[in-house]
């Protein structure tokens, strides 16, 4: 289905309730060889800035590190059984160790089920050896509410080419 370009406020007013209802999304990345990988992730989004951004807890596995090292982008796809969908394409980067405690606190401060306590994954805290956080910055959002028009927002910093 084709989507119509619109402003960020309109798109987020439709996308945010879907994302916060579904919570978990399929995240796709690709390595240097172009082979895609998908995984289930739980990003926590902040919608009120100039560009939506999210934090996601993620173990820095060799595949994730390699993929984000060569292609620091991902696509997050939310779907619910009513067939409401949201696709959020992002720029992604790993947070350095010194920023992990602040990311941990930010995710913990958001009410469940959107936010959560990362201690359930890393009981030893944000400086655990396999603890990692990715910061996502939205570059494109497409929302497809069931029975409604599919709408698209694209970051102005990416130019005006529609896709």
- pLDDT on residue 41: 98
Does 65 fall in a domain? yes
The pTM of the whole model exceeds 0.85 = yes
* Number of domain units in the chain: 1
What is the phi/psi pair of residue 4, to 5°? Answer: -105, 135
Q: What is the CATH number of the domain that holds 27?
A: 2.30.110.10
The Cα 102–Cα 98 span in angstroms is 8
- pLDDT on residue 10: 96
105 Cα distance to chain centroid: 18
- pLDDT on residue 49: 84
Task: Identify which of 84, 108, 91, 92 has the alpha carbon closest to the alpha carbon of residue 22.
Answer: 84
Q: Which two tokens stand for residue 91?
A: 């720029």
Residues 6+ apart with CB under 8 A from 102: none
Task: Identify which of 15, 7, 8, 9 has the alpha carbon closest to the alpha carbon of residue 144.
Answer: 15
Does 13 fall in a domain? yes
The residue segments making up the domain with residue 130 are 4-155
Does 44 fall in a domain? yes
Residues 6+ apart with CB under 8 A from 24: 40, 41, 42, 78
Does 162 fall in a domain? no
Does 120 fall in a domain? yes
Residue 45 and residue 19 in contact, taking contact as beta carbons nearer than 8 Å: yes
Does 160 fall in a domain? no
pLDDT of 53 > 90? The answer is yes
Q: Which two tokens stand for residue 116?
A: 């959560």
User: How do residues 67-94 score in pLDDT, each as one tens digit?
Assistant: 999 999 999 999 999 999 999 999 999 9
pLDDT of 157 > 80? The answer is no
The Cα 38–Cα 83 span in angstroms is 20
Residues of the chain with pLDDT > 70: what percent?
A: 96
Helix (H, G, I), strand (E, B) or coil at 22: helix
- pLDDT on residue 154: 96
Does 129 fall in a domain? yes
């Amino acid at each position: 289905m084709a989507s119509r370009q619109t402003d960020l406020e309109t798109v987020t007013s439709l996308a945010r309730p879907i994302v916060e209802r579904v919570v978990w999304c399929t995240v796709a990345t690709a390595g240097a060889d172009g082979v895609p990988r998908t995984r289930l992730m739980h990003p926590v989004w902040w919608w009120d800035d100039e560009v939506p951004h999210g934090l996601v807890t993620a173990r820095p596995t060799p595949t994730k590190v390699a993929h984000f090292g060569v292609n620091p982008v991902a696509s997050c796809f939310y779907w619910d059984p009513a067939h409401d969908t949201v696709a959020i394409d992002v720029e992604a980067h790993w947070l350095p160790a010194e920023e992990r405690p602040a990311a941990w606190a930010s995710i913990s401060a958001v009410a469940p089920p959107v936010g959560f306590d990362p201690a359930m994954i890393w009981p030893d805290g944000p400086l655990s050896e396999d603890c990692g956080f990715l910061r996502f910055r939205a570059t494109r959002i497409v929302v497809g509410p069931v029975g409604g028009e599919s709408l698209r927002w694209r970051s102005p910093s990416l130019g005006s080419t529609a896709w």
